[in-house]
Structure 1
Amino acid sequence: MAKDLALVLDVGTTSIKALVFDPERQVVAKSYRTISKHISLGGGIVEQDPKEILNTAQTVLRETVRDTGLSIDNYLGLGLTNQRETTVVWDGHTGKPVYPAIVWEDRRTKSRCETLAKTHGQLVREHTGLPIDSYFSASKINWILNHIRTDNTNWLAGTVDTWLMWNLLDSQPHLTDFTNASRTLLFNIKTKTWDEILLELWQVPARLLPKVQHSLSLFGHLRPEVLGSTLPVVAVCGDQQASMYAAKQAGASTKVTYGTGTFVMAELGEEFKLQDGFFTTLTPTKTGFIYAHEAKIGAYAQRIDELLIRGKSLDQVVREMTQATGQKLEQLSPTPNKIILDGGITQALTLLSAQQAANPNIQFVLQQPFDGTALGIAEMIFNQK
């Protein structure tokens, strides 16, 4: 019996997918479910139900494996990619979340972050590659600690990957990978450790935080009751870095993802560098990590969905989107020769030509399949054969 399939769980902000890839990197089965967000516009509050995320993840995994009609023995392993920064805090004894998941979009801590940025902004950027912003996890954990006034002795915290692994893997490991840790504002991307200075700044006890592993490593084994048999979890990576990994396999060191948001990522190498207009972050190689510059340009997916529902042309929004991306790409130094485009919006027929028109001196290539995030995780699984 051939053991040659990769099972991928892709946990996004609006949906959760499970996909099965064959050795030719073709998708042979896929299941998709939407998940809800609870939004209070007045307070900038955006939350999700951690239990819904967990239950939906199990549902799509079971549906996808069922649809292949193959034994779990045919799978090399499971990999997980996820929306980064979104934060879950739960009780390690009861397993119950102490508060809803606070989503990366949530802005309730905006004022607190702006105040801290005036005094500690440069220090934090030098340690993390990131600005002080409510986008990242630290202020979310701090907010929960300050507003849920119960005994927190047994509390655990983490990003979505950590929450899912704790619930789905044998022995309830409290783990994350370097890419997710690097988006918390608590992790020093130079020393690759939780940073005591940052923990003190955000008043987050180290005991709440997970152990950090390389993205391509054994995180544990799926509990048998999830899929009827155990399966090793051998890849965990934040969504944009997973997409970057797939682009690297396609011969590019820069990629653009057109999904819920538009993201640019360009590899830097082994030297830490800061650049205005970009985050500095970690992205995995097969055996280690290198630095990369990343920029989030905007969120066009909702506008496109509205136009599709109304039967309107996408040409204008595609032009706006590719021009904004093109301007950001021109800030990269050196200018990339080749860039991979991935994400659902790349299926718009005019996007490739519009991006090429915006940056005529760069070669743009559409990722195949377009779901570069899931493909990157599949590549990580296959690379460990």
Structure 2
Amino acid sequence: MEKYIVTLDEGTTSARTLITNKKGKIISVAQSEFPQYFPKDGWVEHDANQIWNTQRSTITTALNKANIEGKQISAIGITNQRETAVIWNRETGVPIYNAIVWQDTRTAKWCESMKQEEVDMVKKKTGLIINPYFSATKVKWILDNVEGARELAKEGKLMFGTINTWLIYRLTGGEVFVTDHTNAQRTLMYNIHTNDWDDELLKLFDIPRSILPEIKSCSEEYGITYAGLINKQDLTQIPICSSIGDQQSALFGQLCVNDGESKITYGTGCFILMNTGEKRVMSSHGLLTTVAVAYNGKITYALEGSVMVAGSAIQWLRDNLRIVYNAVETEWYAGQVTDDRRIYVVPSFTGLGSPYWDAYSRGGIFGLDRGTKREHIVRATLEAIAYQANDVVRAMQKDIKAPLKILKVDGGASNNKFLMQFQADISQSKVVKPVNVETTAMGAAYLAGLSIGYWKDVEEIKKNYVEDFVLSPTIDEKKAAWLNKGWSTAVERTFSWLKDIE
């Protein structure tokens, strides 16, 4: 009987389940979207119960599609949208408020009120910056604004988790309350030097330690699923053997396991990570120092840049402007532009992430004239994804004082040949795409499999990696610099927009 690894890939807009075999081939996929809530400008929320129900339904669907039984599953791996914060009642298991999503900027003013010494302390201890993006200020907001939350916290009746913790809690029937180092570090409550929760940080954000989960590695057995998870007849209990933040999972799935190897994942946002080995490289160019993976008794680190809006800019073209009906059409429209108009779309709908960190920026379109058509705007929106990724690549190059010659790419938009070629051009780097672009899911699958000996080691996994295409720059450095200058000018004009119009 063939055995498989199941990965739960819980993203920002959808939950997916993928079933993988020993050759790293994906046998079955099930995906369902869940609702997004925008109660006020800059607020983004999810219903944690809807996430759980959606995720659970995809498990059953994926197994049924491939006609696989529970006893054929060797282990479950979990990868998730990071930073999104859920707080639930320890006694009932019911969330006390919606999950506040990583894109949410409601705590921007509080973040700005921090004294310089507090800002410096946070960066030194966490490798991150004080920003609404991370979990701590979201947790503080829930505790301060949900009636009775502070009292429940004092009585030890609340639990906080990022989505991985919430899923493990629900999968085990409320028996296991854990997180992993990659997710813990993104909360702003984790010290990257001690690799543990930090009392000084907790005091700063006024968060009691009692609500925090235990921190484990990314590759070990945390617990087993409750009987009847799959269906009432199948009472198989499956070990849960990996937990890792989505971007770190993609780094591992791309097998960027050596110092200096980097990847770009194009999803709802766009995330660029470079492995720095066991060195914690502290950025002086607006990047984050992050835990890459905790595996095999060792913690390794990465430099990271986070772009808030990438694939969601294409959704905006489709759902809001309605100038395309399908994301696939964007490549065709981009190819219809034959003139040299320099139109720039800056999709800072929820502010700018790395390397600018401006929560008050808002989107803009620059360079419009009477000859501008739909095709120009579609093309400029695609180009904006590559420009934003390149801003991070340039910052990384400054931090490590060396060029990034190869960029491994994955995620939905990596299938767009126009976008990938443009990325190679403006970054002046080779772009390498694997055949299997489900690298986020594969990272969690590999870590789960490694923990139980399904795969012997990383060397065995490397045999599964096959390149789809390699693209080299088709323009010279001078042309790339000219294009990048226009982009930089456009971005600068969106800075502090919300403040400046008051």
TM-score, normalization by structure 1: 0.94
Whole-Å separation in 1 of the counterparts to 2:245 and 2:301:
14
- Please state if 1:354 is matched with 2:422: yes
Q: Which moved more, 1:151-160 or 1:28-37?
A: 151-160
The equivalences for 1:255-274 within 5 A come to 255-274=263-282
- Per the TM alignment, residue 178 of structure 1 is displaced from its structure 2 partner at its CA by 0.5
Which residue is equivalent to 2:383?
319
Match of 1:143 among 138, 141, 144: 141
Deviations 1:208-251 (A, max 9, x none): 00000000111110111112311000010000000011122687
1:296 partner amino acid:
S
Quick check: 1:364 aligned with 2:431?
A: yes
* Structure 1 segment 1-385 matched on structure 2, within 5 A: 1-3=1-3, 5-42=4-41, 44-116=42-114, 118-150=116-148, 151-152=151-152, 153=155, 154-170=157-173, 172-227=175-230, 228=234, 229-248=236-255, 253-275=261-283, 276-284=285-293, 286-287=295-296, 288-305=298-315, 306=318, 308-309=324-325, 311=329, 313-314=333-334, 315-331=379-395, 332=397, 333=400, 334-360=402-428, 362-384=429-451, 385=453
Task: Note if contact 1:9-1:57 (Cα within 8 Å) is conserved in structure 2.
Answer: yes
- The alpha carbon displacement at 1:323 in A equals 3.1
Question: Match for residue 499 of structure 2?
Answer: none
Amino acid at match of 1:138: A
1:143 shift after superposition: 1.2
Greater fraction strand: 1
Q: What CA RMSD, in Å, does the superposition of the two structures yield over aligned residues? A: 1.8
| Aligned-pair CA distance for 1:171 | 5.3
Structure exhibiting the larger radius of gyration computed from Cα positions: 2
Moved over 6 A (4+): none
Whole-angstrom CA distance in 1 between matches of 2:380 and 2:146: 46
Residues 47-87 of structure 1: per-residue CA shift (max 9 Å, x gap): 11111011111100111111111222222200111110101
* Aligned mates of 1:146, 1:210 — CA distance in 2: 20
Cα distance in 2 for residues equivalent to 1:249 and 1:326: 19
Give distance in 2, aligned partners of 1:216 and 1:128: 22
Q: Aligned in 2, Cα 1:262/1:350: closer, same or farther, shift over 3 Å? A: same
Change (3 A) 1:64 1:353: same
Q: Distance in 2 between matches of 1:327 and 1:35?
A: 31
With normalisation by structure 2, the TM-score equals 0.73
Q: Which amino acid aligns with 2:11?
A: G
Paired residues in the alignment total: 382
Further displaced range: 224-233 or 268-277: 268-277
Give 1:327 shift: 3.7
Give distance in 1, aligned partners of 2:160 and 2:166: 8
Give the whole-Å Cα distance in 1 for the aligned partners of 2:294 and 2:430: 23
Contact 1:38 1:46 in 2 (8 A): yes
Q: Is the 8 A contact 2:180 2:218 kept in 1?
A: yes
**Structure 2 residue runs without a partner (length 5+):** 335-378, 454-502
Which sections of structure 1, spanning at least 5 residues, go unmatched? Answer: none
Q: Which moved more, 1:223-232 or 1:249-258?
A: 249-258
CA offsets, 1:273-330, max 9 Å, x none? 2112201000115412211110013412133232541755244333332233234213
Contact 1:272–1:291 (Cα < 8 Å) also in 2: yes
Whether the aligned pair in 1 keeps the contact of 2:288 and 2:303 (CA below 8 Å) is yes
The answer as to whether partners of 1:47 and 1:102 remain within 8 angstroms in 2 is yes
For 1:302 and 1:157, the matched residues in 2 are separated by 27
Q: SS in structure 1 opposite 2:131?
A: coil
Take 2:198 and 2:73, find their aligned partners in 1: how far apart are those partners? 37
Q: Secondary structure at the match of 1:233?
A: strand
Question: Is the 8 Å Cα contact of residues 256 and 262 (structure 2) preserved in structure 1?
Answer: no
> Do the aligned residues in 2 keep the contact of 1:170 with 1:220 (CA within 8 Å)?
no
More deviation, 204-213/290-299: 290-299
